[in-house]
Structure 1
């Protein structure tokens, strides 16, 4: 299929009918020549406005338990298996509430509690319960969690606590996963995601682009996310961290990153597509702007778990400049 052909097909199928691209169609978009990138981004923006509206959902994240994770995710400096500079630290509940207040002050509607673990033990679940309760009593914001792989009982407990959304990324295509993680399987991650959906919580599930995968595997990943149908997809770009097995990988080319953003929007036209980690390194200020006009409709403001992000004021100023309203809390409930 020619570049012109796939964009014509996507306009009819995705923009006109709201039906996402297939894996083969996604690959055709990902491999478009660079001179067709503006057309791809423009179409993705039209799709975003047509099927998601103009609002942007803003979120902040904070790590409740940082470092010391037993898993070997090759991109992650929080793994206890690598000689990276991150060491295990626990965050106290008052600081968690303070971080939620700071996040809400930006206009964010979502605050995510994250822990670097394979899955939560009893101590962590108890601390999450205390944290969720304290935040809900003090701050008017939705609370999300990202605590690794869960049992059915833990899924039900988080839902009972009032956790609004659960994040558990597939990270990459099933075919590429063994090159990224060896201490657990892609299928284990999929099962946690399936249980979260079944329990009635919103599911946040995405991954990282630029970990040595092929364009075909990016298309595969988009199709697998389409099958899972998460409420939100956080799209990260690898920021190679010292001491990890992926420390030597080059940052993804900005044009490839923008093609990926637009293609994921066309593959999942109704899903929240969130800018997450690595965009500052991969895209810079200009590329971040182009992505917001190429299908993105949500953003993490402030810092990430172990890397620095843009100042929240810079992202909020960008949204004002683009005349993109921030989604109100009432619209997320």
Structure 2
């Protein structure tokens, strides 16, 4: 039987064809002593099909907490006894956050709201926020506002929103164990509408929510079918008061295998470090992931959890001789 890494080298590195479900699963099952080999191949694939540049992004929550959905990992759900209260950010604060993000060299600023989907009040707030940011600072604006109607998709595209984030979170077969108040298919439909409207699609998920290795491979294959422009990879940071509060952290080597397998399944995609990497991987692991397929990073804090300081991440990129993607190349 041909070795999976030999297959991946010919199929992914040389032809740019991503691994399928069964092939991704083989990578996830590789023994630990083959991890360096797997990471090295994933880095080669990243360099061949995406280049050396790293896209840097900052995120801020326009509306935090009080969400009606029951996503079991999320402390912003109003259904759990989590310590996140509903708070709205005003436009001046939003512009200030966008300016601070741009000062790090980031090309992308994402406005996030903890909602099932946006109502009229939120859409109006986003419209004012997007206009104010565009007037104040030169940066691409992304949004993550939950599930959308076609009218809302068209409205966001008309505002000049560059990219829309809507995570599938996990494999279709595992989703009912993670969320019960809406379906995986509803999320998929929003993603398809976003792509059709011409906005870039950002769609990823969270690793470590009780899914099997088979389901991780399933998730990678489903993202490969969707072909998002960007895939943010989060690792569960168990939050107090949520149903997943007592889940263990993903082990570091397991996380790195996941990063590499997703890169091999998605050779042309922006693969972004997102929440949980600080706990799961630490400083050394963060470096290994940047040399194992990752080519984008969120700097600063996340929505309800702390991240590394922007200075630390930017110093790491400088040390690795990885240039930050310029704004002019993403407009």
Same fold (TM over 0.5): yes
- Over residues 185-229 of structure 1, what are the superposed CA-to-partner deviations in whole Å (9 max), with x where a residue is unaligned? 000000000000000000000000000000000000000000000
The aligned counterpart of 2:62 is: 64
The aligned counterpart of 1:125 is: 123
TM-score, scaled to structure 2: 1.00
User: 1:198-277 residue pairs with structure 2 within 5 A?
Assistant: 198-277=196-275
- Distance in 1, matches of 2:48 and 2:306, equals 33
Q: Does 1:106 align with 2:132?
A: no
What SS does the corresponding residue of 2:105 show, helix, strand or coil?
coil
- Distance in 2, matches of 1:295 and 1:332, equals 20
- Distance in 1, matches of 2:233 and 2:324, equals 19
What SS does the corresponding residue of 1:10 show, helix, strand or coil?
helix
- Over residues 120-167 of structure 1, what are the superposed CA-to-partner deviations in whole Å (9 max), with x where a residue is unaligned? 000000000000000000010000000000000000000000000000
- Distance in 1, matches of 2:84 and 2:136, equals 30
State the 1:71 CA deviation: 0.1
- Distance in 2, matches of 1:180 and 1:289, equals 30
State the 1:26 CA deviation: 0.2
TM-score, scaled to structure 1: 0.99
What SS does the corresponding residue of 1:62 show, helix, strand or coil?
strand
The aligned counterpart of 2:183 is: 185
What SS does the corresponding residue of 2:321 show, helix, strand or coil?
coil
What SS does the corresponding residue of 2:306 show, helix, strand or coil?
coil
- Distance in 1, matches of 2:82 and 2:198, equals 37
State the 1:331 CA deviation: 1.1
The root-mean-square deviation of aligned C-alpha atoms, in Å, is 0.6
Q: Does 1:19 align with 2:17?
A: yes
- Over residues 74-123 of structure 1, what are the superposed CA-to-partner deviations in whole Å (9 max), with x where a residue is unaligned? 00000000000000000000000000000000000000000000000000
What SS does the corresponding residue of 1:145 show, helix, strand or coil?
strand
User: 1:29-44 residue pairs with structure 2 within 5 A?
Assistant: 29-44=27-42
Detail structure 1 runs of 4+ shifted over 4 Å in the superposition. none
The aligned counterpart of 1:75 is: 73
- Distance in 2, matches of 1:109 and 1:265, equals 22
What SS does the corresponding residue of 2:58 show, helix, strand or coil?
strand
- In structure 1, stretches of 5+ residues that fail to align are none
- In structure 2, stretches of 5+ residues that fail to align are none
The aligned counterpart of 1:140 is: 138
- Distance in 2, matches of 1:331 and 1:6, equals 35
- Distance in 2, matches of 1:157 and 1:276, equals 27
